[in-house]
Structure 1
Amino acid sequence: MCGIGGVVGHRHQITTQQLTALATALTHRGPDDEGIEYFPLRSTPERMVGLVHRRLAIIDLSPAGHQPMRDTEKGNWITFNGEIYNYPELKQELTALGHTFRSQSDTEVILKAYAQWGAQAPEHLRGMFAFAVWDQTREQLFLAVDRFGIKPIYYIHRNGQFAFASELRALVQAGIAPRTIEPLAIESFLAYGSVQAPLTMLAGVELMLPGHTILYDCATQATHHDAYWSPHATPSARSTKEVLLESVRHHLITDVPVALFLSGGMDSSALAILTHEIAGRMIESFSITFAEHEYAEGQYAKQIGTRFCARHHEITLHDSDLLTLMPHALDAMDQPTSDGMNVYMISKAVHDVGIKAVLSGQGGDEIFGGYSTFSNLPRMHRALHMIQSMGTPSHALLTIGTRWMDLVRRRSPLIPSRTALLLESDGSPLSIYCILRQLFGSSTRRRLLGKPADSSALTNGIPVIITQSLTRETRTLDALNATSLFELRLYLANTLLRDGDVMSMAHGLEVRVPFLDHVLLEQVWGTPMREKKDPRLPKPLLLRQVIDQMPREIYNRPKMGFTFPWELWMRDMLRPQIEEVFASTDEALWTFLNRNTCQKLWRDFLAHRKGISWARVWALYVLLSWIQRTIIAPERAAISASGAAHASPQ
């Protein structure tokens, strides 16, 4: 895992200082090595291309794995972040086709795959990846990200310049992207607690979509976007257990020790069991626990870790730890997110004992149907269809009755009940999903936004191009697979994977996700519905692969999720710093948000008003904190420095 970046533009736009700044901004992602290459275009010498790389050495630790890497036969260059798990098989195939190799790295395999298959190369890769290939002959820049969007690429194309990086802030710190907030991103964040791609918090910067490529042609300065993969069901003669073991085995390929995030939940416990079946007690496991026992799953994690792992580490998070680490975690956020603190804390603990790679159970719920949306969405879709078939008068009466019940229950007027929101939806599966997942509904968002943006480019807080694509792709899918696609493309790609990447890489830690394997997904989607649904068992298709070794108490209890006791902390030790932000009179902070509405939400939370969950208030706090730290403070520091420079004697 690494940090990558690059720029193509006029020679006066690209300097060694800029490329160095781009690489320096990614140092935490790759502490082992740095590479910078830049050169003029042959056809137009006044234009240049520059590539940067920061390396976290996981496979082929020798200098032969240095990047940017050049294909000595074709002259192409690559900067690559991620892991290609089928690289040994691909290397054999490419060798048989006449290609020669000088290293043992998966990076060189991608270079040769591009030389052989061109833009179709990503279709041959099995893994997590984000890479850019400079095609020397065609003078084109080719970028690709993996099928799930595990590894990100942010890019900006303006003023004759095209630039990209693994993190949004790297483009800012290199002076490539301005610190200008995108108003649509604010609304998108308020809807889901994370920004929905391709939007980002900065105007003009976009995030590449999962399973997509971009081709930038230097001659025309045009970009071509293409999707090389879309999920589909693939019935197979192989068993689910066989495909699961194959994916886990691939994810254990490494030249450094690998560990396991163990929450005590079903997904990470299943990984521990499968890893043990493949390699015995090979890996160490890590879990976080709290003094607040009702939030802790430590006993379950310990039970699995001591049985199936080489050594289990239990990290107890104390109040003092949180207060010390929280400012650093907020600084680590590339974009604001209502989640991610948990990943930051456990990643630090794993890094501190010298581990560089870790397995995570992310993707288990999305692939095997573990969220409540898998049962709630079809049920609510049927109910809404029935209500709508009763006619307008019945629908209107139900809407009025729901609003009246909200008043009787002393629900905060800022947060309508989910039932009220559902009755106002268009009844489509996607709109119902959005309401089930939304942090703030549309009416609340309108009251929160200080300067409402033109939201015609959004539907339910999601870019229209994404909702249109999801609607097309789910027309022929059954309810389970359609919900799986919604979860994969929206919640997983824009919240969990973004948090997992940036918060782990803040500590130079590579997170591997064996459940996010496209062969496994297609196997599960192709499995008959009756094998994936069982009212007696959670995620039955996954559970049946490990049920003979998984303790009953792991899967026979309510789903908790890997979260912290925020409700308690926000009313106690975190209250002063949260209150300070909400009470701020700095007009710059409230450019996009309505101060009075935000302050009322905070007061309603403290008063225990119904509907004001900790997650809603926390999301607002994180957003405001991000604006302070990322936009306001650096801009004022730059103005101050500029003023001091002009005031100093010559």
Structure 2
Amino acid sequence: MCGINLVLNARKGDIAIHRMMEATKHRGPDHSSWVGINEKVFIAGNRLKILDLRDVANQPLLSDDGKLALVWNGALYNYQELRNRLLERGEAFRSHSDGEVLLKWLGAFGSEGIKQLRGMFAIVFVDSNKKQVLLARDPVGMKPLYYYHRDHVLLCSSESKSILLSGLVSATVDRKQYAPYFYCRHGMPDASFFEDLLQVLPGEVKLYGFEGQHIASHQLEMEQHAEQTPTKEVFKELLTDAVLRQFHADVPVGVLLSGGADSSLLYQLWYKETGIPLHTYTVGFGKAYRDQYDDASFAAEVAGKYPGAHHEIQVDPQTVLEVWPEYVKTLDQPVGDSASILTWILAREANKQVKVLASGAGADELFGGYNRHKAFSHYLARPVFWNFLSRLNLEKIPLGREKRKFLASIHASPERTFMNFSALGNLPDSLATQLRPYYPRQLSDYKAALEWDRTFYLVNDVLKIHDNACMAHGIEGRAPYLDWSLVSLSRGMTEAEHLRRRNKIWIRELLREEGLGRVADRRKLGFGLPIREWIRDNKNFRETVFSEIGAFEKKHGNAFPPVMRKIAQNPVSYYKEGFLFVWNLFVLSSWIRENGL
């Protein structure tokens, strides 16, 4: 895992690349270096040593003749296979790193070779023979890649703030991101909260000439593996292989053991296959909230069954307030998901023992584990009935928060209904229109919903916070459920097969077989803070949240969407039912202030 940077065709490029390299040093604290390919092209890499810890594997990587150069961020899980194919072609290697394999592979096959890569990656590859620079991001969207391209100047980095710190770009807030952030907890997939700073999309490959001109862009399609019958046994085999691949490292590996089914199964499979104990990490919220937020007790049950070094980190309002300034300072882009600060706190602790952290990210999106998937399957079973019921006046009927949201989210279009389910509130027509191109409308309704969660929510929320929180502390985050073999298995299943096996039935059955039925059958609870309870019970926490939002509204409120401004003006009236909106605003308020916007 690394930080990567590029300066192309800019004035004082040597100074700019050095500044950018320093800005992303936390991503690769083991080694940092930059090189000028010529007077126009400069690249820099910060290395977190995971495979082959020798200096020979440091970045930037250069070919023997200096004509090819690479900086990249990620891990190739099929690098041994690619290495063997290159050896057959007569290539020789100085290291055992996947980075050297990638350099030689791209040198041999160019952009077409990216199709054969299996893993997570963001790439900057320079080919002086062709006078071209290639940017690429893996199709799953595991690793971020930001860029600025104007007047034939191209800047690219693992983090948006690095581009600003180059000294070549001014920081200006992009107000168009307020609406998607307010409803979805993040900005648009191809944008950032800084004007003119964009994101390379998952699976996108972009080519530029040395004069800064854009040559071409194309989209990588994730290749489907040979069709396999979707059974529990096939799923277990693929997941076991993914765990063994992704836990492979020359440094200590740990697991974010949330107490949920997904991460519990990862650790169970690892220990059963290898017998090697690992460090595991979870959070506890104290006795007052343990009955409702009981991750710690379930995680302790798993840790007690399989040997390892288990760490339960206690988190309370004071903990969050104490680390908040440092957390916000390291937050590259705002994501209003409280799992972000929790992951950040866990990674800070894990940094004392490990350099790789595996999580259960992706299982819900691939195999229908969220409550909204269950709700959507109910809706699809009787859409006419639910559409009729949603139009009735139900204000006087006592309904819980979840049932009220369900009925309020119903729309004549199944697509729009699920988009409402997955957002914090019903999308305005203008925002729904803006998001519609990202919705996979060519699929059947339920499969489209799963793909929306995988390509939109997972990439821009879950994976973004996992990368940011881990990298802030120099840790590589991995997600075995997002191994390409498992993504392919999910995508290859029919809608009927998904509906029969929703709620991650295979994961639960495998845990029950190991005597972990209590973990398998626990109610679904998102990984996050007890926000509503803390606002209600803790005066200092409540006043900090509300005052931050108030200052934000006074300065920027004129640019807010109507509902966003309404809540920002009076959060005390909304936090009981709209606590997720309030937290969303608090994160954004803090981030805007920290960045002087």
TM-score (norm 1): 0.84
Give the Å deviation of 1:333.
Answer: 1.6
Q: 2: distance between equivalents of 1:558 and 1:411?
A: 17
Give the Å deviation of 1:465.
Answer: 3.9
Q: 1: distance between equivalents of 2:427 and 2:449?
A: 22
| 48 and 33 in structure 1: CA distance in 2 versus 1, 3 angstrom threshold | same
Are 1:620 and 2:585 matched, yes or no?
A: yes
**Partner AA of 2:476 in structure 1:** E
Listed one character per residue, the Cα deviations across residues 569-607 of structure 1 (whole Å, up to 9, x for unaligned) are 22323112122223328853335236961344403125x
Q: 2: distance between equivalents of 1:417 and 1:365?
A: 20
In structure 1, stretches of 5+ residues that fail to align are 41-46, 389-394, 447-454, 633-650
Q: Please tell me whether the aligned partners of residues 58 and 255 of structure 1 are also in contact (alpha carbons under 8 angstroms).
A: yes
Q: 2:545 aligns with which of 573, 578, 599?
A: 578
Q: 2: distance between equivalents of 1:118 and 1:284?
A: 39
| 5 and 333 in structure 1: CA distance in 2 versus 1, 3 angstrom threshold | same
Q: 2:46 aligns with which of 54, 57, 62?
A: 54
Are 1:119 and 2:111 matched, yes or no?
A: yes
**Partner AA of 1:584 in structure 2:** A
Q: 2: distance between equivalents of 1:527 and 1:442?
A: 29
Give the Å deviation of 1:373.
Answer: 2.8
Equivalent residue, structure 2, for 1:436: 421
Q: 2: distance between equivalents of 1:218 and 1:585?
A: 42
Q: 257-266 vs 227-236, which deviates more?
A: 227-236
Q: 2: distance between equivalents of 1:580 and 1:386?
A: 44
Equivalent residue, structure 1, for 2:200: 208
Give the Å deviation of 1:94.
Answer: 1.0
Q: 1: distance between equivalents of 2:108 and 2:378?
A: 49
Q: 2:395 aligns with which of 406, 428, 436?
A: 406
Q: 2: distance between equivalents of 1:534 and 1:542?
A: 14
Give the Å deviation of 1:232.
Answer: 4.9
Equivalent residue, structure 1, for 2:21: 23
Q: 2: distance between equivalents of 1:494 and 1:97?
A: 39
Q: 2: distance between equivalents of 1:585 and 1:241?
A: 48
Q: 2:441 aligns with which of 467, 471, 478?
A: 471
**Partner AA of 2:567 in structure 1:** C
Give the Å deviation of 1:493.
Answer: 0.4
Equivalent residue, structure 2, for 1:365: 364
Are 1:523 and 2:489 matched, yes or no?
A: yes
Q: Please tell me whether the aligned partners of residues 508 and 521 of structure 2 are also in contact (alpha carbons under 8 angstroms).
A: no
Give the Å deviation of 1:226.
Answer: 1.3
Q: 2: distance between equivalents of 1:582 and 1:212?
A: 36
Equivalent residue, structure 2, for 1:94: 86
SS of 2:143's partner is coil
Q: Please tell me whether the aligned partners of residues 284 and 309 of structure 1 are also in contact (alpha carbons under 8 angstroms).
A: no
Equivalent residue, structure 2, for 1:427: 413
Give the Å deviation of 1:386.
Answer: 6.0
Q: Please tell me whether the aligned partners of residues 553 and 569 of structure 2 are also in contact (alpha carbons under 8 angstroms).
A: no
**Partner AA of 2:413 in structure 1:** G
Q: Please tell me whether the aligned partners of residues 188 and 196 of structure 1 are also in contact (alpha carbons under 8 angstroms).
A: yes
Q: 2: distance between equivalents of 1:585 and 1:100?
A: 57
Q: 1:551 aligns with which of 516, 524, 543?
A: 516
Equivalent residue, structure 2, for 1:495: 461
Listed one character per residue, the Cα deviations across residues 508-543 of structure 1 (whole Å, up to 9, x for unaligned) are 1111110001112212333566765558x8412333
Equivalent residue, structure 2, for 1:266: 261
Equivalent residue, structure 2, for 1:245: 240
Equivalent residue, structure 1, for 2:345: 345
| 30 and 242 in structure 1: CA distance in 2 versus 1, 3 angstrom threshold | same
Equivalent residue, structure 2, for 1:162: 154
Give the Å deviation of 1:243.
Answer: 1.4
| 605 and 220 in structure 1: CA distance in 2 versus 1, 3 angstrom threshold | closer
Q: 1: distance between equivalents of 2:250 and 2:265?
A: 24
| 127 and 266 in structure 1: CA distance in 2 versus 1, 3 angstrom threshold | same
Q: 1: distance between equivalents of 2:271 and 2:532?
A: 36
Q: Please tell me whether the aligned partners of residues 386 and 407 of structure 2 are also in contact (alpha carbons under 8 angstroms).
A: no
TM-score (norm 2): 0.91
Equivalent residue, structure 2, for 1:330: 328
**Partner AA of 1:588 in structure 2:** K
Q: 2:228 aligns with which of 225, 236, 242?
A: 236
Are 1:79 and 2:71 matched, yes or no?
A: yes
Give the Å deviation of 1:460.
Answer: 5.0
| 482 and 582 in structure 1: CA distance in 2 versus 1, 3 angstrom threshold | closer
| 604 and 318 in structure 1: CA distance in 2 versus 1, 3 angstrom threshold | closer
Listed one character per residue, the Cα deviations across residues 18-43 of structure 1 (whole Å, up to 9, x for unaligned) are 11110111011111111111133xxx
Equivalent residue, structure 2, for 1:643: none
Q: 1:130 aligns with which of 86, 102, 122?
A: 122
Q: 2: distance between equivalents of 1:374 and 1:348?
A: 33
Q: 2: distance between equivalents of 1:256 and 1:399?
A: 54
Equivalent residue, structure 2, for 1:5: 5
Q: 2:432 aligns with which of 459, 477, 489?
A: 459
Equivalent residue, structure 2, for 1:355: 354
Equivalent residue, structure 1, for 2:281: 286
Equivalent residue, structure 2, for 1:636: none
Equivalent residue, structure 2, for 1:644: none
Q: Please tell me whether the aligned partners of residues 69 and 78 of structure 1 are also in contact (alpha carbons under 8 angstroms).
A: yes
Equivalent residue, structure 1, for 2:557: 590
SS of 2:276's partner is coil
| 461 and 155 in structure 1: CA distance in 2 versus 1, 3 angstrom threshold | same
Q: 555-564 vs 231-240, which deviates more?
A: 231-240
Give the Å deviation of 1:233.
Answer: 7.3
SS of 1:471's partner is coil
| 563 and 582 in structure 1: CA distance in 2 versus 1, 3 angstrom threshold | closer
Q: 2: distance between equivalents of 1:587 and 1:260?
A: 42
Are 1:629 and 2:597 matched, yes or no?
A: no
Give the Å deviation of 1:173.
Answer: 1.5
Q: 2: distance between equivalents of 1:411 and 1:549?
A: 35
| 74 and 236 in structure 1: CA distance in 2 versus 1, 3 angstrom threshold | farther
Q: 2: distance between equivalents of 1:569 and 1:161?
A: 47
Listed one character per residue, the Cα deviations across residues 103-130 of structure 1 (whole Å, up to 9, x for unaligned) are 1111111111112221122221111111
Give the Å deviation of 1:253.
Answer: 1.4
Are 1:36 and 2:25 matched, yes or no?
A: no
Give the length in aligned residue pairs. 584
SS of 1:406's partner is coil
| 465 and 533 in structure 1: CA distance in 2 versus 1, 3 angstrom threshold | closer
Q: Please tell me whether the aligned partners of residues 140 and 202 of structure 2 are also in contact (alpha carbons under 8 angstroms).
A: yes
Are 1:506 and 2:487 matched, yes or no?
A: no
**Partner AA of 2:583 in structure 1:** W
SS of 2:468's partner is helix
In structure 2, stretches of 5+ residues that fail to align are none
Percent of residue pairs identical: 25
Equivalent residue, structure 1, for 2:572: 603
Q: 2: distance between equivalents of 1:173 and 1:249?
A: 39
Q: 1: distance between equivalents of 2:520 and 2:299?
A: 12
| Bigger Cα Rg | 1
| 442 and 245 in structure 1: CA distance in 2 versus 1, 3 angstrom threshold | closer
| 533 and 547 in structure 1: CA distance in 2 versus 1, 3 angstrom threshold | farther
Listed one character per residue, the Cα deviations across residues 606-642 of structure 1 (whole Å, up to 9, x for unaligned) are 5x4xxx321111111211221111133xxxxxxxxxx
Give the Å deviation of 1:357.
Answer: 0.7
Matching of residues 101-112 of structure 1 within 5 Å: 101-112=93-104
**Partner AA of 1:438 in structure 2:** A
